[in-house]
Amino acid sequence: MPSKSPLVGAAVDEVAGIDLGDARLNARVRRCVMALERNPAAGFPSAVETVAEREAVYRLLGNDRVTLDDLLAPHVQQTAQRAEAPGERPLIVVDKTAFVFAGESERAGLTRLGTARQGFDAFVALAVSRTRVPLGVLAIEPLDGNAGQSSAETWTRVVATADGRLGARHPIYVMDREADAYRLFAALMEAGRDFVVRVAADRWVREHADAAPELLPTVVARTPVCLQRTVKLTRRSGAGKPRAAQRRHPPRPEREAALAIRACAIVMPRPPKAPRHLPATLTVNLVHVLEEHPPADVGPVEWLIVTTLPIDDAGAVGAVVDSYRARWLIEEYFKALKSGCAYEKRQLESRSALLNALGILAPLAWRLLALRSVADDTGTPAVAVLDADELHVLRKISRDIPLGPTPTAAEALTALARLGGHFPQNGRPGWKVLWTGFQKLLPCVEGYRLARAELAACEAADM
């Protein structure tokens, strides 16, 4: 098969070089990934073709010698390589999510969440380019339900893991309000790591070292607007989300918001209950984003962001805001993992088997998300996401979107989305409709390759 760009290659490319200490296990992972490439949401039994393959997959997932980190290792390595693009300073978005599995029967190692639900939490570090293209997963750290594991120490440990896997790169860490912790900020600054973190409005700070403590909104209210922007807000549904998540991120319709942005330096005093070995103060930059005139009955957009990045001019402040706006990609990644790859519907009976399944599905979820991001990029060539055979077949079967000899990725994926049933009036295509188009394209490509191989065999026989 022709080689592809490392931007979004074949699913099996993400497990290239996997080493589980057994050649048979390595081959089993590759076959499993290739089977799921057609439909990541398929159950493991229906993804493979024979009873023997089905049993082999379940043996793989239940193998005590196989771990989540082992399965993720090749994808992590390729993610780090994608983050090494010339001139690239990647963003690393870190967030926590809850994986919840239905069913009353006990699943070994999971936390009981009710009579018919069990699950576990996990931290995920997702690498993202400055143009907001997801580059892949750098770390997944599942929690075991013990108290305190979502504290600043855990955030710091996940950041350190991701940092170690990037090598010499100097990324920017992006986190939401759950990471608002003095201990975390102190650890990041001591290690020389840059960050962009949204914080709570009730945090006490000082305008300068000798000033009296004030709440953040009071300090920033005295700061003049340095930048104004109009941004498009995507629709956010609250369906199926816990009440706490809906309070943090309430549902909203798709709309445009006019934002006023302020920036200043602040001094954070050490909280009274924080360990005394931490610095007495931390000097950071504050960026305040506010929708001053929201529609009636709609809560305004407001972000209070602390960062180590410079705020010397409007361009620098805008870069901080853009870095934080990249955070939504990890929410989309979780959606691709839970819905596009149907992770929470997996009927595996133990935590260890579910973690191994996560190791296989995590790169597939990244591919779903990356395809849509590339579809938005008008300058990327189609060969970055489709190989020559796939592009040739798509050109032949695409009736509504004619493709020229050198189409862009956006043009090719628009044709793919149309193949999946997308209508232009519905806006930009999502990863679901793109993947539906892929599911229709791949069997045609397989038929084309078989026919070509048969023709070549016939021609060779006639010679």
pLDDT in tens, 169-195: 799 999 999 999 999 999 999 999 999
User: Quick check: 246 pLDDT over 80?
Assistant: no
What would the mean pLDDT of 76-88 be, rounded to a whole number? Answer: 86
Contacts of 82 (CB under 8 A, 6+ apart): 6, 7, 127, 135, 136
Q: Please tell me the predicted confidence (pLDDT) of residue 5.
A: 40
Question: Which domains, and CATH codes, for the chain?
Answer: 376-462 (1.10.740.10)
Place of tokens 């759950």: 178
Least confident of 199-208, 247-256, 286-295: 247-256
This prediction's pTM: 0.85
Residue type, 78: Q
| Distance of alpha carbon 165 from alpha carbon 161, whole angstroms | 6
Q: Does position 34 have pLDDT exceeding 50, yes or no?
A: yes
Reduced to 3 states (helix: H, G, I; strand: E, B; else coil), residue 413 is helix
pLDDT-derived band at 18 (thresholds 50, 70, 90) equals very high
Characterize 74-111 residue by residue with b for buried, 16 or more Cβ atoms within 10 angstroms of its Cβ, and e for exposed. Answer: bbbebbbebbeeeeeebbbbbbbbbbbbeeeeebebbb
The model's confidence at residue 249, banded by pLDDT at 50, 70 and 90, is low
pLDDT of residue 146: 55
- CA 200 distance to own-chain centroid: 24
pLDDT band at residue 2, thresholds of 50, 70 and 90? Answer: very low
Cβ burial, residue 249 (10 Å; 0-12/13-18/19+): middle
Q: pLDDT tens digits, residue range 231-243?
A: 887 766 666 566 6
Strands of 11-110 (E only): list them. Answer: 91-102
pLDDT at 329 over 80: yes
426-441 tens-digit pLDDT: 777 777 787 788 778 8
Task: Identify which has the larger pLDDT, 376 or 264.
Answer: 264
Instruction: Decide the pairing of beta strands 194-198 and 172-175.
Output: parallel
> pLDDT category, 409, cuts 50, 70, 90?
confident
pLDDT over 60 (residue 275): yes
pLDDT band at residue 375 using 50, 70 and 90 as cut-offs: low
What are the E-state strand segments in 157-218? Answer: 172-175, 194-198, 204-205, 214-215
**Averaged pLDDT for residues 122-147:** 89
